[in-house]
Amino acid sequence: MPDLMTSFSFVLEIDGVEMASFRKCTGVESETETIEYKEATKDGRMVIRKVPGAMKWSDITLERRVDESKALWEWRKQVETGDIDSARRNGSIVIKDSMKKEVARWSFDRGWPSKWTGAELDAGGNEIATEKITITHEGLFRA
């Protein structure tokens, strides 16, 4: 019986190197804009035609627990200091099965961290401290 897909074991790879595992990922999606135009048929009836427009991809947002790694922070810092060309990297969101074997991969092109959010700190709470990173990119495909 094949291993069932779970949504809790996934990692971020940047330029082929595993950066971190995450607890949440959103924005793995693509969309084709729809262009509508009116057209009259030969018999004078008005119809609305729909044709594909430009492709667009959502930003990918990843959330993970805070630990000693500064890799995401340093990647974001490249953008903050204006080094956007060096910050653009190819990467992948990789889902793994219970045996840590890759079962699915979505790769993005020329991604860069457009937003980093640190942990919400509350002395009265008991939540795990997490950080979020939003990756803006120029294309997404299932590898």
- Please indicate, yes or no, if residue 48 is contained in any of the structural domains: yes
- Please indicate, yes or no, if residue 5 is contained in any of the structural domains: no
pLDDT band at 8 (very low <50, low <70, confident <90, very high): low
pLDDT band at 2 (very low <50, low <70, confident <90, very high): low
pLDDT at 88: 97
* Overall number of domains in the chain: 1
pLDDT at 101: 87
- Please indicate, yes or no, if residue 1 is contained in any of the structural domains: no
- Please indicate, yes or no, if residue 54 is contained in any of the structural domains: yes
Q: Which residues form the domain of 28? A: 10-142
For residue 103, the domain's CATH number is: 2.30.110
pLDDT tens digit sequence for 42-86: 999 999 999 999 999 999 999 999 999 899 999 999 999 999 999
- Please indicate, yes or no, if residue 3 is contained in any of the structural domains: no
Q: What mean pLDDT comes out for the span 98-105? A: 87
- Please indicate, yes or no, if residue 98 is contained in any of the structural domains: yes
Q: How far apart are CA 19 and CA 16, in angstroms?
A: 9
Cβ neighbors of 60 (< 8 A, separation 6 or more) are: 25, 26, 27, 28, 93, 108, 111, 134, 135, 137, 140
pLDDT band at 97 (very low <50, low <70, confident <90, very high): confident
Question: Of all residues in the chain, what percent carry a pLDDT higher than 90?
Answer: 73
